[in-house]
Structure 1
Amino acid sequence: AVHCSRAYSPWEVALEAQLRDSCKALGVTFKRYPGTLLHEPEHIENQSGAPFKVFTPFWRHCCRAEAPAQPVPLPSETTWAEPLAQGAPLRELELLPTNPNWAAHWSTLWTPGSEGARKTLERFLQDRVQHYASGRDHPAEEATSRLSPHLRFGDISPTQVWHTARATLQQQPALEEQI
């Protein structure tokens, strides 16, 4: 089976259609999930049935909307395709700067991977969320979640963040005012 997240940009929609058709022709199951958004765009509309143009009414509507589905669990078994070629070790690609090494501190800012994402979310909900309302407009302050790279690279999904944050807010309702 081929599993993927729903595409939204025109070129991705066309690519997804080709993939779906190829899977069908090969007798392969094609499963698509709404993996990158909390709500499908066609489900969040203003009273006249059009997309929102102002953030605050959009936000209020989303807050009243049905909770996003629980994240899809990892498959119990995964089969990976054989690599087409042997890759070079990252170090040999010489992508990181050496003199001066302006990226030396990057590892203190971001630990890639799902475990790093989980810890970053946990740290935000335990230590930073109470300062979010006053500090969110100042990215240099330790008030934001710092989840952007994890969300961008798929280390964690928006639904995982939503459900984890919702569970925390149910235990500590006063924090909801900070978001």
Structure 2
Amino acid sequence: MQVEEGQEGGPPREGPSSSKSKPQTKKERRQQQQQQQQEQQQQQQQQRQKKQNKQQHRNSKQNNKRKRQKQQGDTAAADIDGGGPPKKQRVQGGPPTQDPGSGDTEQQQQQQQQQQQKHKKHQKQQQQQQHKQHKKQQQHKKQQQQQKQQQQKQQQQKQQQQQQQQKKKKETN
């Protein structure tokens, strides 16, 4: 409620000049009800968004895990292909090398997730734009097809007229 007071810029509602001293008119009641409904809707929307964000968060975590596993698998495979000594593999897969870096990986994960969320927002906007463009294109295509059909009809009519004229000429000859 404080935010609303700030937006109105007037005196706070519970002051001496508030509507409490006067009996509420139907209009005021209606306005209050509308405000309450709007507030409820906003809260519901916020909750929905939170849920969506959580899911996105989960998905991005799983994706990151998969990526990491892939990368580790690739490096191990590269060593085997390269024919290097088996010691190298042990150093890479061993716990001592992974432990000090584990703190960094968490930070990296968070950064990646933030980037992914930004990317998802961007993707949504792009999809909306593409959808709009697609609609325009479809309308444009329809118009083109209609124009083509009209042109074809006109050509057919012209041909028929020419044939009729030729027939008439033959008859007069």
Provide TM-score, normalisation by structure 1. 0.18
Larger fraction in strand:
1
Is the helix fraction higher in 1 or 2?
2
TM-score, normalised to structure 2, is: 0.18
Of structures 1 and 2, the one scoring higher in RCO (CA 8 A, sep 6+) is 1
Greater Rg, structure 1 or structure 2?
2
